[in-house]
Amino acid sequence: MIGSLPDLDQYVLIIAPHTSNWDFVLGLLVRQLIGTRIHFVAKDSLFRPPFGWYFRWLGGSPIDRSRSRDTVRAVAKIFSERKTFRLALSPEGTRKKVATWKTGFYYIAIAAHVPIVMVAFDFGKKKVKISEPVSPSGDREADFKSYMDFYRGVLGKVPENGF
């Protein structure tokens, strides 16, 4: 492992590249090894019986995605309601190959006034790389360029699905 998670109560953790279902399993294992509680958001239907308790136990929070909602504002509200909330997201938003990242994580960090921590699951080098916390500047283009620099050369579990 290269780097370590910051000793902060709140931040947005972006994990990339997300190319396989194994990324979630690896994330749970890394979280256990590090000993830091990491959270996630998911569609609210996952939090209904019979398995809703399990997703909450894993650190999940439900988000209503059935109607057009302001997800950024809803997640920022979770940050404001909790002393400790470290949100893990995939900037690609899918395991399939994408040309560009989604921007929600960036706007969540801005709205919640929290830094972004980048994590790379590099299956090519068999390493996990963690950045220092960075605060979004508001210049999305410049910030995304620096984020991409962090992930340059990183290979996902399914390399052809990487960005």
What would the pLDDT profile of 110-152 be if each residue is shown by its tens digit? 999 999 999 998 878 989 899 999 999 999 999 999 999 999 8
Residues 157 and 27: beta-carbon distance below 8 Å = no
> CA torsion sign, 25 to 21 to 17 to 10?
negative
Each residue's pLDDT tens digit, 63-101? 876 655 688 988 999 999 999 999 999 887 665 666 778
Residue 72 tokens, joined? 């950024």
Give the range among 10-14, 35-39, 114-118, 137-141 with minimum mean pLDDT.
Answer: 35-39
Report yes or no: 115 and 134 within 8 Å, Cβ to Cβ.
yes
Cβ neighbours of residue 156 closer than 8 Å, sequence gap 6 or more: 16, 17, 18, 19, 20, 23, 121, 123, 162
The per-residue pLDDT for 158 is 59
Could you tell me whether strands 127-130 and 116-122 are parallel, antiparallel, or unpaired per DSSP bridges? antiparallel
Whether 160 has a pLDDT exceeding 60, the answer reads no
| Stronger pLDDT, 41 or 30, i.e. the higher one | 41
pLDDT value at residue 96: 62
pLDDT surpasses 60 at 161 = no
Whether pTM > 0.95 for this model: the answer is no
Token couple for 136: 């979004």
| The pLDDT of residue 44 | 87
39 band by pLDDT with thresholds 50, 70 and 90: very high
